[in-house]
Amino acid sequence: MHSEESPESHPLTSSAGQNLDPHLRRYAARAAGMTASEVRALFAVASRPEVVSLAGGMPNLAALPLDSIASEVASLIAREGMVALQYGSAHGVPALREQICDVMALEGISGHPDDIVVTVGSQMALDLVTRIFCDPGDIVLAEGPSYVGALGTFAAYQANVVHVEMDDDGLIPEALRQALSVAESRGQRVKFLYTIPNFHNPAGITLAVSRRAEILEICRRAGVLVVEDNPYGLLGFDGQTYPALRSMDPDNVVYLGSFSKTFASGLRVGWALAPHAVREKLVLAAEATTLCPPTLNQLIVSRYLETHDWQGQIKSFQQTYRERRDALLSGLEQHMPAGCTWTKPDGGFFVWMTTPEGIDTKAMLPRAVTARVAYVSGTGFYGDGFGSRQMRLSFCYPTPERIKEGIRRLAVVLEQELELYRTFGPASRRITSGPQTPSPDTA
């Protein structure tokens, strides 16, 4: 009987890779761009306890004062339950929007609470921004590599991503100029530049302060909006912050913020700060999506900001992540084979590693997981198939000891791959079309 069958009994692809989804012909064209991200596909395997996961970007919540948060939540419901458990406005709780202005002030932003839209994580803000600006075929410029969740959103709205090269100082202004002029010569419409200026996901790089005004000027001249995504900006390991792009050009930047990395990702509270007219459209789009963000969660964040030393808590997160970053970097120095290079982040969660020629990080992943270490292959962070020699290594979640062990295991796998490459050549040439190899017409 259908009702008793588990989803596993209906695989969506045949062993030959054929799509078996019975609804396939019904989907809207935009659903074709919705595919499981590599991060998601990995989640189940990488979360087994024996695997050291350097894959996911889960914040480390162990340092949060759970008991006092619990009693705040209980008193919130007891005293303000009629509001906390009720619908609210799509715009977000006013008191929280005021507090968000205080949070943003730490990075030089002087926003008005009216121009903030509270969202279900900044992921929802990304969705709303893309929805109101992008028609199918429009171009979004993004760093190469870029955040996998943003690439998924752009694909879902059938926008095409053009990656702009970075170096150790972040987005390269000249590369941005070139991307814009190529798009113009092809008659393509560039809708916005999507950028993560601080402690980039996945690259771990920060946009040099000296480049910020130039990037903004290039976009302004080209009539291109800037979408600044900044979930990690307060997680500089020395407590350092950088001037937000939004603080330098309020009329041409939509700023996205989040409490996911500085407080609790499970509450799903983020926001967009937008030029006034854009804010109006965002509220309408938000209304159509969720009616309103969860009132209870907004009030929990608001109460937390009011009653806890949230800046002290952020300092303690900075310290935890710095220790983990150090463990990862020293492990890499100690164990990685010659030819591997990696970024050295000053904040955030991620290191981006480039492996020597001959390594395909996507093909290698199952072998790494068998060796009980997981990472995310670089290809997931590009919309164009690039990144097969790269990988993202997250240091946010495992303890320093586990990180070191994970890196040791990863180095062994890499050495073995390189040995295979030196002996037999590239992986693609090792697969021969002999009688045992299934081909599309025999499977």
Ligand X SMILES: Cc1ncc(COP(=O)(O)O)c(C=O)c1O
Binding mask 21-60 for ligand X (x = CB under 6 A): ------------------------------------x---
* Cβ(375)–Cβ(393) below 8 Å: yes
Query: Binding to ligand X by residue 278, rule CB under 6 A?
Result: no
| Nearest residue relative to ligand X (C-beta) | 121
The least CB distance from residue 429 to ligand X, in Å, is: 37
Which of these ranges, 7-15, 101-109, 116-124, 385-393, lies near ligand X under the rule CB under 6 A? 116-124
Q: Pick the binder of ligand X from 149, 233, 378, 406 (CB under 6 A).
A: 149
d(CA 91, CA 116): 7
The residues in 205-234 that bind ligand X, with binding defined as CB under 6 A, are 229, 231
Q: Residue-wise over 242-255: b if at least 16 C-beta within 10 A, else e? A: bebbbbbbbebbbb
Q: Pick the binder of ligand X from 53, 99, 123, 297 (CB under 6 A).
A: 123
The least CB distance from residue 57 to ligand X, in Å, is: 5
Q: Which is nearer to ligand X, 57 or 236 (CB)?
A: 57
Structure tokens at 415: 């050495």
Q: Which is nearer to ligand X, 149 or 204 (CB)?
A: 149
Q: Pick the binder of ligand X from 130, 206, 262, 265 (CB under 6 A).
A: 265
Query: Binding to ligand X by residue 258, rule CB under 6 A?
Result: yes
The least CB distance from residue 153 to ligand X, in Å, is: 10
Query: Binding to ligand X by residue 201, rule CB under 6 A?
Result: yes
d(CA 138, CA 159): 5
Q: Which is nearer to ligand X, 111 or 257 (CB)?
A: 257
Query: Binding to ligand X by residue 270, rule CB under 6 A?
Result: yes
The 3-state DSSP class for residue 191 equals strand
Q: Pick the binder of ligand X from 56, 121, 144, 236 (CB under 6 A).
A: 121
The least CB distance from residue 415 to ligand X, in Å, is: 31
The least CB distance from residue 125 to ligand X, in Å, is: 8
Q: Which is nearer to ligand X, 226 or 364 (CB)?
A: 226
* Residue 19 exposed, middle or buried by CB count within 10 Å (0-12, 13-18, 19+): exposed
Characterise 315 by phi-psi region: left (phi > 0), alpha (psi -120 to 50), beta (else). alpha
Structure tokens at 190: 């560039």
* Pairing of the two strands 190-195 and 225-229: parallel
The least CB distance from residue 201 to ligand X, in Å, is: 4
Query: Binding to ligand X by residue 144, rule CB under 6 A?
Result: no
d(CA 315, CA 313): 5
Which of these ranges, 10-18, 36-44, 117-125, 171-179, lies near ligand X under the rule CB under 6 A? 117-125
Q: Which is nearer to ligand X, 90 or 371 (CB)?
A: 90
d(CA 407, CA 54): 9
The least CB distance from residue 31 to ligand X, in Å, is: 21
Instruction: Sheet containing 376-377: give its strands across.
Output: 341-342, 350-354, 390-394, 376-377
d(CA 78, CA 84): 10
* Cβ(380)–Cβ(365) below 8 Å: no
Q: Pick the binder of ligand X from 52, 99, 111, 147 (CB under 6 A).
A: 147
d(CA 110, CA 115): 11
* 188 Cβ neighbours under 8 A, 6+ residues apart: 137, 138, 139, 160
The least CB distance from residue 376 to ligand X, in Å, is: 12
The least CB distance from residue 94 to ligand X, in Å, is: 21
Q: Which is nearer to ligand X, 124 or 369 (CB)?
A: 124
* Cβ(200)–Cβ(350) below 8 Å: yes
What is the number of other CB atoms lying within 10 angstroms of the CB of residue 54?
A: 30
Which of these ranges, 27-35, 46-54, 101-109, 119-127, lies near ligand X under the rule CB under 6 A? 119-127
* Cβ(300)–Cβ(73) below 8 Å: yes
The least CB distance from residue 78 to ligand X, in Å, is: 28
Residues that bind ligand X (CB under 6 A): 57, 121-123, 147, 149, 196, 201, 229, 231, 258, 260, 265, 270
